[in-house]
Amino acid sequence: MDFLAQQLLWGAVLPASITLTVLVASWRAWRRDGVSTHWGTPLALSLGYLFAHWRIVGLPLRFPPVDSNEWLFAVAIALGFWGVIEHFACRQSLLGEAGRAVLAVTISWLVLRPLMGTLWQGMSAYIWWLLLALGWWLWWSLQARIASSIPGLPAPLVLSMVAGGGGFVLLWSNSSSLSQLSGAVAAVAGATVPLVLWRREGNIGAGGVAFIAGLLGFIWVNAIAFVPVPVWRIAMLAVASLTPCVALLPALKQKPGWNIVVMCAIATAILLSAVMVPTYRAYVASAGAYGY
């Protein structure tokens, strides 16, 4: 088996299979009419991602972790349990907002501390920390609101597309490990799509979005701080993830659900192309400059 096939197997196919198997085996809610979500969703997503993380970059050697990639493993565990909390507290939006804010600020501080006093000096260190935490929290909260306002296929499909496209952006921005981990998020998010297709009233719920958006946002924080990936590239990925909002337009509220899904997918693909194409061109140009 060649290297690319191994990466696809360990980083995408098997993680998605683990997530889907756990959901199908334990998610009895999918077999009952009128039940749209289940508290086990974030745990199933977490298990799939943790397997991929183990195979891609290995397990953390100590706690607290000393490497930003190792922090992703610990944060994925925390977000799996946080997703369960959000599932049961989904009607308490203020609690969700506050919890996400605490997580974003605290985790960002723990992970970004090595940069303070070295790469970032003085007050700029605290500005970077707060801005990255604020951006993560805002985008995470927007995804939670989208998922609650627009149930069904758009949210998991678009998040999977953005995580997958973002993986290429990270790869061409010289971060192979974050690229593969973003691909793992795309795989486990995509594993929920068949279930949502199976049950038209299906929804990955607040808990599922809490895990997917929380972890993907944290990958982007790492990408900006440690690679570093230009902020505009991450901002474009964040904008591409907001395409399900077209379903809220008055002119589209009466359209069939499939029309909205197709429109979201097309709009997401266009926005992803707008960041992927120039990123790839810059990557090729830089490789040519160094004679690769």
Long-range contacts of 281-284 (CB under 8 A, 24+ apart): 282/172, 283/172, 283/173, 283/174
Strands (DSSP E) along 54-161, which ranges?
A: none
Cα 195–chain centre separation: 19
DSSP state of 84: H
Per-residue pLDDT of the chain (292 residues; tens, 9 = 90+): 566 677 788 888 999 999 988 887 766 655 554 445 667 788 999 999 999 999 988 888 777 787 888 899 999 999 999 988 887 776 667 788 899 999 999 999 999 998 887 878 889 899 999 999 999 999 999 998 888 888 778 888 999 999 999 999 999 999 999 999 999 999 999 998 887 777 655 677 778 888 999 999 999 999 999 999 999 999 999 999 999 988 777 766 666 567 888 889 999 999 999 999 999 999 998 876 555 4
Are the C-beta atoms of residues 110 and 149 closer than 8 Å to each other?
no
The CA–CA distances, whole Å, from 126 to 79, 143, 162, 273 equal 24, 26, 29, 33
- C-alpha radius of gyration, the chain, whole number: 19
- Beta partners for residue 120, in sequence order: 116
Q: If you search the block for the tokens 């690319």, which residue do you land on?
A: 4
Look at residues 282, 34, 81, 265 and name the one whose alpha carbon lies nearest to residue 161: 265
DSSP, collapsed to helix, strand or coil, labels residue 255 as: coil
Look at residues 21, 224, 41 and name the one whose alpha carbon lies nearest to residue 139: 224
**Reported pTM:** 0.91
The CA–CA distances, whole Å, from 281 to 248, 273, 278 equal 35, 12, 5
Q: How far apart are CA 13 and CA 7, in angstroms?
A: 9
* Amino acid of residue 142: L
| Two structure tokens written together for 113 | 């501390």
